[in-house]
A and B are shown apart, each in its own frame.
Chain A
Amino acid sequence: MADVYLDGAAWGYQQRARRLMLAVVLVFAGLLLRLAHLQLVEGDSLKAASERNFVRDVVLPADRGTIYDRHGRVLAVNRPSFDLYVTPAQVRDLDALVAGVREVLELDELEAIHLRERIEEPRGMWRYQPIRVERDIDRALVSRVEALRARADGLSVQVEFKREYPYGELGAHLLGYLGRPRAEELKDTERRYTKDSMVGRFGLEKRYEQILAGHNGLERYVVDVRGARQDGGWARHAMEQDNRIIPPERGHDLWLTIDIEVQRLLVEALARHESGAAVVLDPNDGTVLGLVSKPGFDPNEWSSGLSSEVWQQIQENPFNPMLDKSVHAYFPGSVYKVVTAMAGLEEGVLDADEEIDSPGRYEYGNHVFHCHKRGGHGKVNLFEAMAASADVYFYKLGERMGIDTLAVYGERFGFGTRTGLGINGESAGVVPTRAHHEAHGGYQAGLALSTAIGQGDVRTTPVQMALAYGALANGGTVWTPRVVESIRRPDGQVVSTFEPVAQRTLGVDTDHIALVDKALERAVNDDKLATGHLAALPYGTVAGKTGTAQVRRIQRDSMRQSVKRFRDRDHAWFAAFAPYESPRLVVVVFLEHGGSGGKDAAPIARQILEAYHQRIEPIFQTTAAVDRDRLPERGAGRGGRASRQR
């Protein structure tokens, strides 16, 4: 037998053995290359992966700062919320656990079955991932859950902070709400946001995120595959740094200039209107006391994750609750006439006493411009024209100056520029110029006329309007709106204070300011002509102007009839300051598609002034004479007014 192997085929076996050896060497070389690739090429990234296995970074959430109103009332605060988790891998007795949870949380049978399925479903290492069974369990239940935990392995309670807004809708747009961080925010290594963090998404919560959020802390330690913390043995050498703790830093508190009771009276005053905004501020330094947009929303609902029904309701609401109308720009209509009047006086094309014929219609070019009053007003001076809101009077002023001159004064009042409030995508509005119209569909000379009465393409925000009327009230300074008074630590120590900042001055003759102010006083108090007479108060003098802005809108057939009727209506404005003699307050009321400035907006402004005087602080003295003697001089404008009043 041996002969066969040796003689006949020995050569063949040797050759085949050599081939097999070659194949073996090649395959082993392949394995060696693969080993080299993993260890030398991918080595660093796989070493990092190995560290990710055992290094556990637990973010220690920082307590978010509290938001207070001007009197220290809490507007937004964190409260601990307890979430219940089950870790499938740690469950020993599933029946007992499900039964226990069912009893404590009062689940029905279907929910209990669902819970069991969720615990049984994960496979492999997924079983070590905790499953959230219930969010924000009732405080009273926490102790029962703790008792259950002692009996049923696998349950855990994690504490999270939940944002609360005790005044609900009163602070809605202004305070804003929180939401989960976006992908780019999760990359912010300094703040250490996690996917469970809540960050400011709207309003002041968003604007002052950096101040309020503080810094999340970090605890880093070694864990095994089950997530159990390891301190001895291998864990001592595993990490290059020692176990470490960076304590969380609480955010700072925000003290606002807002008075929540002013917010309340604004919401009450707007109660009968679906959509609009109201602003109350101090004309003397731009301090905002109240700022409301309608429809409101409950920031509590937003900050705890909206239910789909609420989301649906908001999406379907035709009045757009998520738009902050106080900083959104709309056609102002006649409230803008103060710009035209001021321009006329300054440019020397107008004398306040000059009587200008103001009929019901005015032909210009091949277009007829109408007055809101068909019969017109006859010959009127500035005071009568403002009181009656005589459109033709202002058309003629517009014609005398042209659109670009009007624009200069519009801009001096702060229109066309963001006020610097800095929240909710504040709009700059539009102060139309010839160039603006050329860029948007073409310029015609007639546009100067419509601009003069706040139509054309003029668009202003309610906050801009309040600051502009504030400048008329304070003698010429357009302030930057001030909403935050100071940033403080929890112990009350002030970190920084926000002083009033002048945005610009009107740069006009103070006598001219006094004349426009007088015209505004007439617009409320003139016995015969005042279009704003519904804003007049028996015990104090209000100065203000109505605005009824025509709205041109392309109609969509799909709109519901009620919505269509709403969209066809004019915007109603009323802008006022009071008391006329020594202004303490500016009030702007804007009703989107709200009807008429005189009939609808003016009474609301009056209600606000009245409520403020009665409930917040008295702003009207018994007689103007007493007031004038007692008050110190407050600016150049004051002198002009005093001389005029004699």
Chain B
Amino acid sequence: MKGILANVGRIDWALVGLVVLLSAVSVLNLQSTSRATGSEVYLSQLYWMLLGLGVMAGVAVVNYRDLQRYAPVFYGGVIIALVLVLIFGREINGSRRWIDLGFVGFQPSELAKIAIILSLASWFQKETRPGGYGFKDLLPVAAMLGAPMLLILQEPDLGHTLMLLFIAGSMLAFERFEKRTMLIVVVSAIVLAPIAWRFVLRDYQKDRILTLVDSEADILGAGWHARQARVAVGSGGLLGKGHGEGTQVAGGFLPENHTDFVFANLAEEHGFVGGALVLVIYLGIVLVALRSAVRARDKFGGHVAVGVAALIFWHVVMNMGMVLNVLPVTGVTLPLLSYGGTSVLTVMAAMGLLLNINLRRTVF
């Protein structure tokens, strides 16, 4: 108890402030979309936020060593959950991503991101290579990453599959590699891309990528989501249509308006001013996370911080890229802004990890 109190001064209040601000924006924005659609998701989101803040605080005070120690256990639990979801998962729109826990739906792929961050970080902590990592070192990393990726791809959930790859890739970018190894990775990525297009992607996923190239193609079919998101965002202009005055959600033109396309409603109602503010909050969180990476007391903490930064960064980029019509439509949520319990709790836990690292940071 004394130790915690002594560390109050080390709490990253900037991060806490950004998270609370973003949560408030999220609830208000969902209040607008739920008014239009007649549901009350914003209240649920509020409860998840409150619960999430508790989770964040809890993760922040967990023993730092325990995080590393129990990482493999957590990883194993997530793998089991990913297998279970393929068997018992609730099928929605042709994919199994949810396990019904009765009172709430649970999405194991969300937790897989945390599991990968912790596992990779503890692996880097254990296996040090002062001269840089070689190609052989990548094989266990690939195995650790490949298992959950393949399972999530079976759901199918391309967004989360890619998310795991991007998070891991970002964490690797924080380490030093032999030049030869980097070359092999780049070349094999180029070779594998067309193979993945041919054998891994499903037709609807290809359609989404193709509609991005030609935004006017099939705007009543495969291109509808992207087109209506673009219309919503653009019609907001500088100042927006006003809170609760958005027509794209109210008229039912914008689908998935409280989950994947939630930012479109915000930009429609609050314009460039509101949209830019949200973007700046996310930038702040990512930069705070990267700052924590440098301050961390060991490689484990550094890599966890980079992993969390990558988690937020890639979610924001893939989601906004989709809403702003520069990336294909993948079901990637916008951290905290999108409605969803598992998603909120995952992000809050990740924020807790950052706080935890900061509490034990090295003082220069």
Contact = CB atoms under 8 A, between A and B. Distances in A.
Contacts of A39: 233-234, 236-238, 267, 271-272, 275
Contacts of A43: 234-238
Contacts of A233: 250
Interface string A18-49: 00110011011001101110111011111101
Contacts of B320: 31, 35
Contacts, number: 162
Contacts of B235: 43, 46-47, 49-50
Interface stretch (A3-11, A319-327, A432-440, A557-565): A3-11
A32 B125 CA distance: 36
Interface string B172-194: 01101000000000000000000
Contacts of A45: 234
A38 B230 CA distance: 7
B10 interface: no
Contacts of A38: 230, 233-234, 324-325
Interface in B62-110: none
Contacts of B170: 20
Contact of B298 (A5, A17, A125): A5
B272 A40 contact: yes
A231 to B, nearest CB: 13
Contacts of B236: 39, 43
A53 B324 contact: no
B283 A224 contact: no
Contacts of B250: 224, 233-235, 238
B3 interface: no
A13 B252 contact: no
B251 A54 contact: yes
B200 interface: no
Nearest to A129: B220
A126 interface: yes
B306 interface: yes
Given A5-B299, A24-B313, A35-B324, A53 B251 contact: yes
B238 A40 contact: yes
A131 to B, nearest CB: 14
A372 interface: no
Contacts of B309: 20, 24
Contacts of A243: none
B247 A234 contact: yes
A5 B361 CA distance: 12
B148 interface: no
A556 to B, nearest CB: 48
A123 interface: yes
Contacts of B228: 53
Contacts of B166: none
B340 to A, nearest CB: 22
B324 A24 contact: no
Given A124-B224, A233-B250, A46 B230 contact: yes
Given A12-B176, A32-B276, A224 B326 contact: no
Given A20-B170, A20-B173, A36-B272, A226 B252 contact: yes
A10 B30 CA distance: 43
Interface size class of B (residues with CB under 8 A): 35 or more
A62 B268 CA distance: 39
A31 B279 contact: yes
B290 interface: yes
Contact of A234 (B36, B173, B272, B306): B36
Contacts of A46: 230-231, 233-235
Interface residues of A, number: 52
A234 B297 contact: no
Contacts of A49: 231, 234-235
Contacts of A54: 247, 251, 253
Residue from B230, B237, B282, B291 having most chain A Cβ neighbours under 10 A: B237
Contacts of B287: 21, 24-25
Nearest to A31: B320
A237 interface: yes
B22 interface: no
B279 A28 contact: yes
A47 B294 CA distance: 45
A50 B232 contact: yes
Given A13-B174, A20-B306, A24-B313, A35 B279 contact: yes
A113 to B, nearest CB: 24
B39 interface: no
B12 interface: no
A226 B255 CA distance: 13
B278 to A, nearest CB: 10
A285 B253 CA distance: 65
A625 interface: no
Given A24-B313, A28-B282, A125-B220, A50 B231 contact: yes
A16 interface: yes
A28 to B, nearest CB: 5
B128 A4 contact: yes
B24 to A, nearest CB: 21
B313 A9 contact: no
Nearest to B38: A233
Contacts of A123: 221
B317 A27 contact: yes
A34 B234 CA distance: 10
Interface string B283-305: 10011001101101111001000
A5 to B, nearest CB: 5
Given A20-B173, A20-B306, A38-B234, A50 B290 contact: no
Given A28-B282, A40-B238, A50 B220 contact: no
B269 to A, nearest CB: 11
B130 interface: yes
B222 interface: yes
Contact of B253 (A16, A53, A129): A53
Contacts of A17: 174, 290-291, 293-294, 306
Contacts of A50: 231-232, 234-235, 247-248, 253, 268
25 contacts: A4-B128, A4-B130, A5-B296, A20-B306, A24-B286, A24-B313, A28-B282, A28-B286, A35-B233, A35-B276, A38-B234, A38-B324, A39-B233, A40-B237, A40-B238, A45-B234, A46-B231, A47-B235, A49-B231, A53-B231, A53-B251, A124-B218, A126-B221, A224-B252, A237-B245
Interface of A: 1-2, 4-6, 8-9, 12-14, 16-17, 20-21, 24-25, 27-28, 31-32, 34-36, 38-40, 42-47, 49-50, 53-54, 123-126, 129, 222-226, 230, 233-235, 237-238
Given A34-B324, A35-B267, 9 more contacts: A4-B128, A8-B130, A9-B130, A17-B290, A28-B282, A39-B275, A43-B234, A234-B245, A235-B250
Closest 9 CB pairs of A and B: A46-B234, A234-B250, A50-B235, A225-B252, A125-B220, A124-B221, A47-B235, A43-B237, A38-B234
